[in-house]
Amino acid sequence: MEILVKKGDLTESKCNVLVVGMFLNEKKSVGVLSDVDAKLGGLLAKHMKQDKFKAKPGAIYLSRTFGRMSAVRVLVVGLGKRDEFNLEVARNSAASVLNSVKSLKVKRVVIEPFGLAQGLDGHDLAQALTEGLLLADYEFAQYKKAEGKAPNEIVVMTSDGRLARSFAHGIDDGKLTSQATAFARDLVNTPGQDMHPEVLVEKAKQIAKGASSVKIKVFDKEKLERMGAGGILGVGQGSEKPVFLVHMVYKPSKPTKKKICLVGKAVTFDSGGLSLKPADFMTTMKIDMAGAADVLGVFSVIAKLAPKMEVHGIFAPVENMPSGSAIRPGDVVRMMNKKTVEVLNTDAEGRLTLGDMLVYACKQKPDAVIDLATLTGACVVALGEEISGVMSNNDSLSEKVLASAKVAGEKMWPLPLEQSYKQLMKSDIADMKNLGNRWGGVLVAGLFLEEFVKKDVPWVHIDIAGPAYAERPINAYEKKGGTGHGVRTLINLLKTF
């Protein structure tokens, strides 16, 4: 499916479906809608009224044009209330259009840049429309046939040449974010059998091979032993699969001192280890590498994105399995910063791998570290399935992340690093233990990570346990499965940092 912009008259365009937006509860149709209605002799408005069509966000009304227009059909998409229209409504409405034309199995669709009258920037609107269309079109078809048939091309049409140029840029940016998101979704959706540590390493190597601006270092078990990465090694020791630490570096063409580290949890399957998860909690645990999938998603487009700072991608792929060689509840590991941790629950494994990764990240002397992790069920209890939790030692950095998330249409919410809860991690025999008591599990996990971040390094932790994977359709462009939640926020951040 190709999305492109063309200069032209919408009402004259030849296509299978002409898509026009409509706001809710407006007495008279305006703009393109009223032009189309005029061509159809007022029948469109009349029929919509008779059928009691309400232009709620994403609602669809499909009509034939009976030879009165060059378009075979007109598809009216609801945009909700005019004063509530924003980029997220645009994204969702575009997605709803795609879902609907997919079932029509047509070739060419022409779409009005709906909502433009609301004063949105042309570039941003076109990007949101493109994201809605492409993300809705995503299907994971590695193990069964794809179901829908998307149109060959979707043309965003405007008669204004200057707008057409900013649309073209917006469409390109939307393609980039969608491609990166789809990359992450594929990794998350792939079962643990086919997405084990070696595969994640291979994915990173392929990205580096395809982009001269990206270099990669891979540390194996022996090297990790020398580095003292007891957390990563401890979590991985029960699996037959090897463990790694992957460090990707993107350098911009113009040398710069600015450096940002993106760190992702990369547990390719989380059985819980010897603190085995109940069966029902384990069924989706192939998604426990979603943080790393986000980082790889960003790196899959980073050469094209061409941010102006150095970007480091760091993740440690491991599999958390129970076995005769697995780490035991009560074992003590020594982390990369020499702190000892009593592992009282082997299912709280993410923080052990991340602790080492954060120590390693801080050694790069970065201006910012951002980690993404499907870290705690407690975060899902606190914020639900759609919102990730944001914890930080630096208000200005976390505000930047939250602002980027808002523009990207990804829901994130700040949570406190409540220092008094640190005492909950006191251990009888080690510097700390890897869990607290029953309460505030998401915060305790964040506080645990903070122990491995250098005080003067601005750091944001994003717990994506809820939104990384949709157990039910969330909206028109996030269906059941991996969502790639986080990718678009990171890309926005890299653009504006």
Q: Which residues are catalytic?
A: 277, 351
CB 184 within 8 A of CB 490: no
294 binds ligand BES (CB under 6 A): no
Strand extents, DSSP E, 80-238:
108-111, 153-158, 214-219
DSSP 184-232: HHHHHHS-TTTSSHHHHHHHHHHHHHH-TTEEEEEE-HHHHHHHT-HHH
Q: Which of 88, 137, 173, 288 binds Zn ion (CB under 5 A)?
A: 288
Q: Which does 435 bind (CB under 5 to 8 A by kind): ligand BES, Zn ion, none?
A: ligand BES
The token pair at 184 is 């992450």
CB 258 within 8 A of CB 310: yes
Residue 11 CB, nearest approach to Zn ion (Å): 54
Among residues 148, 135, 150, 54, the alpha carbon closest in space to that of 92 is found at: 135
Residue 375 CB, nearest approach to Zn ion (Å): 7
Instruction: Write the interaction track for ligand BES spanning residues 310-349; mark x where CB under 6 A is met and - where it is not.
Output: -----------------------------------x-xxx
Q: Which does 465 bind (CB under 5 to 8 A by kind): ligand BES, Zn ion, none?
A: ligand BES
441 binds ligand BES (CB under 6 A): yes
Nearer to Zn ion, 290 or 491 (CB): 290
DSSP 389-421: EEEES-HHHHHHHHHHHHHHT--EEE----GGG
Q: How far apart are CA 20 and CA 77, in angstroms?
A: 6
Chain centre to alpha carbon of residue 27? 39
The token pair at 178 is 């969608």
User: Partners of 76 in the beta sheet?
Assistant: 20, 61
Q: How far apart are CA 243 and CA 366, in angstroms?
A: 25
Q: Which does 139 bind (CB under 5 to 8 A by kind): Zn ion, ligand BES, none?
A: none
Q: Which of 88, 112, 186, 288 binds ligand BES (CB under 6 A)?
A: 288
Count, residues in the chain: 497
CB 60 within 8 A of CB 100: yes
Residue 273 CB, nearest approach to ligand BES (Å): 9
Q: Residue 435 in 3-state DSSP? A: coil
Residue 382 CB, nearest approach to ligand BES (Å): 11
Residue 2 CB, nearest approach to ligand BES (Å): 36
344-363 positions binding ligand BES, by CB under 6 A: 345, 347-350
195 binds ligand BES (CB under 6 A): no
Q: Which does 441 bind (CB under 5 to 8 A by kind): Zn ion, ligand BES, none?
A: ligand BES
User: Partners of 371 in the beta sheet?
Assistant: 263, 461
Q: Please give the size of the binding site for Zn ion, defined by CB under 5 A.
A: 6
Residue 265 CB, nearest approach to ligand BES (Å): 8
367-406 positions binding ligand BES, by CB under 6 A: 374-378, 380
Q: Residue 267 in 3-state DSSP? A: strand
Q: Which of 132, 197, 350, 440 binds Zn ion (CB under 5 A)?
A: 350
Q: Which does 409 bind (CB under 5 to 8 A by kind): Zn ion, ligand BES, none?
A: none
Residue 90 phi, psi dihedral angles, 5° rounding: -60, -45
Among residues 372, 182, 177, 343, the alpha carbon closest in space to that of 275 is found at: 343
Nearer to ligand BES, 201 or 378 (CB): 378
CB 411 within 8 A of CB 387: yes
Residue 249 CB, nearest approach to Zn ion (Å): 26
Instruction: Write the interaction track for ligand BES spanning residues 247-286; mark x where CB under 6 A is met and - where it is not.
Output: -----------------------x----------------
Q: Which does 377 bind (CB under 5 to 8 A by kind): Zn ion, ligand BES, none?
A: ligand BES
